[in-house]
A and B are shown apart, each in its own frame.
Chain A
Amino acid sequence: KAGVTQTPRYLIKTRGQQVTLSCSPISGHRSVSWYQQTPGQGLQFLFEYFSETQRNKGNFPGRFSGRQFSNSRSEMNVSTLELGDSALYLCASSFSGPGVLTFGAGSRLTVL
């Protein structure tokens, strides 16, 4: 059974650019959550999607957005990148809810 796949694994952007990260959940999982991981702030919840609807949202500015497609794949977008957006972005999927999560390996974003 394939795990959670995130692409790209690594990327480098410059300030002001935008980035789109992709996440393919485990087959049959309808919930996809996104987290930002940094050394200073730890793991911070970004948002959760379930059946194409955003079900929950963390405390991030509007530059951070996401969506989920009918096949449960999800993307997140960060516009007008700032240096502080450098982080590991983790996607996790679950069958129904936010507790038992299966994580992908993450997309490491570096903003120069």
Chain B
Amino acid sequence: GEDVEQSLFLSVREGDSSVINCTYTDSSSTYLYWYKQEPGAGLQLLTYIFSNMDMKQDQRLTVLLNKKDKHLSLRIADTQTGDSAIYFCAEIGNEKLTFGTGTRLTIIP
């Protein structure tokens, strides 16, 4: 199967770090992606990581990849109200992008 799994909800206090987790299925995926969807909008690419990397940092975003466990995570440092959105991880398999179920991130003031 091609089920990419994520927790549905995450609540974080403003200023804290958010960690969004994802378990993917296709061990042959060359790239793994994180997309963000704000209300009423399409998806926006946040970052991606090549499968031979363990970590990638991009400003407040840190992506960790554990290939052995097929586990991907996205850490958002100093979470702000503007980070409220649904976050999707995605993998390439059979030349198409398969998205996870999405994690709704809520920021607590």
Contacts and interface: CB of A to CB of B under 8 A. Distances in A.
Interface of A: 4, 33, 35, 42-43, 45, 48, 55-56, 58, 90, 92, 97-106
Contacts of B97: 33, 45, 98-99, 101
Given A43-B88, A99-B33, A56 B96 contact: yes
B109 interface: no
A90 B42 contact: yes
Contacts, number: 52
A98 B95 CA distance: 7
Given A42-B101, A100-B48, A105 B96 contact: no
Interface string B22-35: 00000000010101
Given A42-B101, A43-B88, A102 B45 contact: yes
B102 A42 contact: yes
B94 interface: yes
B44 interface: yes
B40 interface: yes
B99 interface: yes
Contact of A99 (B40, B41, B42, B92): B92
A99 B41 CA distance: 19
B95 A100 contact: no
Interface of B: 31, 33, 35, 40-45, 48, 88, 92, 94-102
A100 B101 CA distance: 19
Contacts of B92: 98-99
A100 B46 CA distance: 10
A48 B96 contact: yes
23 contacts: A35-B99, A42-B99, A42-B101, A43-B43, A45-B97, A48-B96, A55-B95, A56-B94, A90-B42, A92-B42, A97-B95, A98-B92, A98-B95, A99-B31, A99-B97, A101-B43, A101-B45, A101-B97, A103-B43, A103-B44, A105-B40, A105-B41, A105-B42
